[in-house]
Chain A
Amino acid sequence: MFHNKLEFKLANSEQIVHLGSKTVSIYASSNEPADFSFSFEQRHISLSKPGDIVVLRKGKVPWDYIDYHQSLIKGNVNVIEVEEDKKNQNLSLPQLLMKSLGSINKIKKLLDKNAVLMVWDSTKDEQKVSKNKL
């Protein structure tokens, strides 16, 4: 007997950022630093849908892979690359995004104004969500 009637709801735990009425999913594997996230970020690109906004560390995901994925989903994903340097390479992607105002402004332009950015701070407690007014 083959069972596939169960549904997967990625949004429950991985939908990290909410901006106003729209949603931005930061496909990050919580706070895995450096090269570990390199692979995870590419894995999460595989889950994005047309119109999704995916925040990635700059240069970590080859564009030919993103192109292949977009051909599969028959649509475009909005990829925002976050700068990373030696000083912040051990930060999680949400932490990096918090520090990267340029990227937040990019998101803001794409979505609603006066939005509230909620970043899942996975390093502290499972029930703690931090809020930052943009």
Chain B
Amino acid sequence: MNKKSPKINYKYGHKSGARLLAKKCNLNIPFGKSCSTIEMVLKYLKILKDTDIKKVIIKYDESYGGIGHLVIEDLNKNNGRKVKTFLNAVKQNLGGGWTIEQWVPSKKTIGSHIEININKEICLSYLWQQIIDKDNVSYNGAIPLEISEIHFNQLINHMKIIADFIIKQGGQGSFGPDFMLGKNGQIYFNELNARIPSTAFPLQITKQIKGYIPKGFLATSIKTEKGIKFKDLRFRLEKNNLLYPSRDNDGLIPYHVGQLEWGNFYFVIISDSQKKSQFYYKKTIKLFKNNKATR
């Protein structure tokens, strides 16, 4: 939840708000609809059954990092029980509000960061590529963005349009619009995070320490033992030549270390080589016990 721009967050900082924003800014989004009740969702799924659309995603309005999504592989199969169980569970635990969208095969999912100061000056801060889990939905980290100049310029244009729109609404502060590059070559707007995107922090840490964002930049988190102390973590990383600065003047910097109490180990790998950063990542996974990815 964004605390700096509550009005923007309230209106546009969720899945159905993103559809509204896309409409107002004339941004490309997957075909779909926002539904406020379970009945509306079921009714809309029935309507979609009579179209060419086969695969859809149901997104809970307030979902974060891909949690609270349901992918329906084939609308023609009987998904009734699965859908109702999902919708009821979301409603009971989180509240209502969903968006149903046609599944668009993704080539890259892209995060970005915009800053708007009190003088209404816009800073397009960063663009990066999100690491998505095997489920094709859940967010697992970030790496440098590798796209064509054409797509890059399109993204910059989208970011400017969104920033101008936010200013017109009286908003300021940090915002993180998410995009997707579809396999069809089109850029889609996904959602507006009305807060500092979490990847902005490892990016800035890296920029500060290294002076630039190296090609082997990798920000992610893994699940480790709960309550591990930073000094123990540091000792193990140093012993294995993983902690930045390692002997090769690259390595891993832990951040967000308060989360260690809950067993969430956040780190950014700084290296000029993607191959080397993968090596560091795999070695870190091996070194820490519960290596299930976290968000």
Q: Which of A22-41 contact B (CB under 8 A)?
A: 29-32, 35, 38-41
What is the minimal beta-carbon distance from B255 to any residue of chain A, in angstroms? 4
Interface hit among B26-34, B171-179, B286-294: B171-179
What is the minimal beta-carbon distance from B198 to any residue of chain A, in angstroms? 9
Q: Does A127 contact B (CB under 8 A)?
A: yes
Q: Does B70 contact A (CB under 8 A)?
A: no
Contacts of B145 in A (CB 8 A): 2-3
> Of residues B3, B170, B171, which shows the largest number of chain A Cβ atoms within 10 Å of its Cβ?
B3
What is the minimal beta-carbon distance from A33 to any residue of chain B, in angstroms? 11
Contacts of B266 in A (CB 8 A): 43
A8 vs B170: C-alpha distance when bound (angstroms): 22
**Contact assessment for B257 and A65 in the assembled complex, using a CB-CB cutoff below 8 Å:** yes
A43 vs B207: C-alpha distance when bound (angstroms): 15
A7 vs B113: C-alpha distance when bound (angstroms): 10
Q: Which of B144-179 contact A (CB under 8 A)?
A: 144-149, 152, 170-174
Who on chain B is nearest to A62 by CB? B230
Q: Which of B21-58 contact A (CB under 8 A)?
A: none
What is the minimal beta-carbon distance from A116 to any residue of chain B, in angstroms? 15
Who on chain A is nearest to B256 by CB? A43
| Given A7-B125, A47-B208, A126:B4 Cβ within 8 A | yes
**Contact assessment for B208 and A73 in the assembled complex, using a CB-CB cutoff below 8 Å:** yes
**Contact assessment for A3 and B208 in the assembled complex, using a CB-CB cutoff below 8 Å:** no
**Contact assessment for B200 and A8 in the assembled complex, using a CB-CB cutoff below 8 Å:** yes
Q: Which of A8, A31, A38, A120 contacts B207 (CB 8 A)?
A: A8
A112 vs B145: C-alpha distance when bound (angstroms): 43
Q: Does B269 contact A (CB under 8 A)?
A: no
**Contact assessment for A42 and B258 in the assembled complex, using a CB-CB cutoff below 8 Å:** yes
**Contact assessment for B172 and A13 in the assembled complex, using a CB-CB cutoff below 8 Å:** yes
Contacts of B209 in A (CB 8 A): 72-73
Q: Does B5 contact A (CB under 8 A)?
A: yes
What is the minimal beta-carbon distance from B238 to any residue of chain A, in angstroms? 10
Interface hit among B12-20, B74-82, B114-122, B185-193: B114-122
**Contact assessment for B148 and A1 in the assembled complex, using a CB-CB cutoff below 8 Å:** yes
Q: Does B295 contact A (CB under 8 A)?
A: no
| Given A3-B145, A72-B244, A47:B261 Cβ within 8 A | no
Q: Which of B205-246 contact A (CB under 8 A)?
A: 205, 207-209, 212-213, 215, 229-231, 234, 244-245
**Contact assessment for A64 and B127 in the assembled complex, using a CB-CB cutoff below 8 Å:** no
| Given A62-B229, A65-B230, A126:B205 Cβ within 8 A | no
Who on chain A is nearest to B173 by CB? A13
Nearest 6 CB-CB pairings of A with B: A39-B258, A30-B3, A12-B117, A4-B213, A43-B256, A122-B3
Known contacts A10-B204, A65-B230, A72-B253; 19 additional CB pairs below 8 A are A1-B152, A4-B144, A6-B124, A8-B113, A12-B121, A12-B123, A13-B117, A13-B173, A35-B258, A38-B258, A38-B261, A42-B255, A43-B201, A43-B266, A61-B258, A62-B229, A62-B231, A125-B6, A126-B7
Task: List the interface of chain A (C-beta within 8 A of B).
Answer: 1-4, 6-10, 12-14, 29-32, 35, 38-43, 46-47, 49, 60-62, 64-65, 68, 72-73, 92, 120, 122-123, 125-127, 129
Interface pairs (25), CB distance under 8 Å: A2-B144, A2-B145, A2-B215, A4-B144, A6-B127, A7-B123, A8-B126, A8-B204, A12-B115, A12-B123, A13-B117, A14-B174, A14-B196, A30-B3, A30-B4, A38-B258, A39-B258, A42-B255, A65-B230, A73-B208, A120-B4, A123-B3, A126-B173, A127-B118, A127-B170
